[in-house]
Amino acid sequence: MTAITDTTALAGRILLHWRQRPGSILVGFLFPVLMVLMFGYLFGGAMAVPDGDYLDFLIPGMLAMTMLFGLEAMVVAVTTDTAKGVTERIRAMPVSATAVLAGRGVADLLNAVVGLAVMVVTGLLVGWAPERGLLPSLAAFGLLLWLRFAFTWVGIYLGLLLKTPESAVAVQILVWPVGFLSSAFVSPSTMPGWLGAIGAWNPLSATATAIRDLFGNPTWGATDWASTHSVALALLWPAVLTALFLPLAVKRYRALGR
């Protein structure tokens, strides 16, 4: 019960902190909307999706990309707390490492839910819609949050490892190749062979392809193994990332100051 109370209190601290900087939070929510408008209307006319409209292909990809952006935001948040001494003050309190990091995770998932809501409304306004009913759509959102949960732990670990907001720029730079080398914007089948193979097995591609199937949206005719088993991979990839980075993050937090 103490761990749950500590986790809730620490998550609440982060949410209160967000209230003090609504401008940056609003920009974080609206940036994916800008990307939808840019790719959908500036570049979308050149995109010929074999089995449907490009916007219907794009929106699930952008929902997955929004989950990836959480990694970047988490690294910046953790390094900022470290640079300001907040992390050390919390470490001096009688709070377990797991509760501290879980509090960040809970706050980030709440942020992800709001971000998804903004993107869903954007999608509906531009003409996108789920085609397979409520339960498959809920399953799709579950896969998205499952991916975000995994990226949360990757972000926490990298933030604790890098320590300074300036060094977090390296992660911000790397996030974009990971996002573009996926099926978020185009099918990996349109890429050169070796690059397409990497893109098809990208964890982001697994979730994007899986939710397209669950929403009943076009998949650009993908028939490779990774695409036809995308739901299984969308469950497996976040599990692997969480199993790897959650204990690394806890270990790194406990080792701070040694």
Q: 154-179: per-residue pLDDT in tens? A: 999 999 998 787 777 778 788 888 89
pLDDT in tens, 194-203: 888 999 999 9
Element of type H or E holding 17: helix 2-19
**Does the predicted model carry a pTM greater than 0.85?**
yes
Q: Residues of the chain whose pLDDT is less than 50?
A: none
List pLDDT tens digits, range 76-87: 888 888 888 877
> Helix or strand or coil: residue 183?
coil
Output the pLDDT for position 29. Answer: 83
Q: Which pLDDT score, from 0 to 100, does residue 257 have?
A: 59
Check if the beta carbon of residue 250 is closer than 8 Å to that of residue 101.
Answer: yes
Q: What is the pLDDT of residue 96?
A: 78
* First CA to last CA distance, the chain: 29
**What's residue 43's pLDDT?**
81
Helices (H), 84-202: 86-91, 97-125, 134-162, 169-180, 193-200
The per-residue pLDDT for 3 is 65
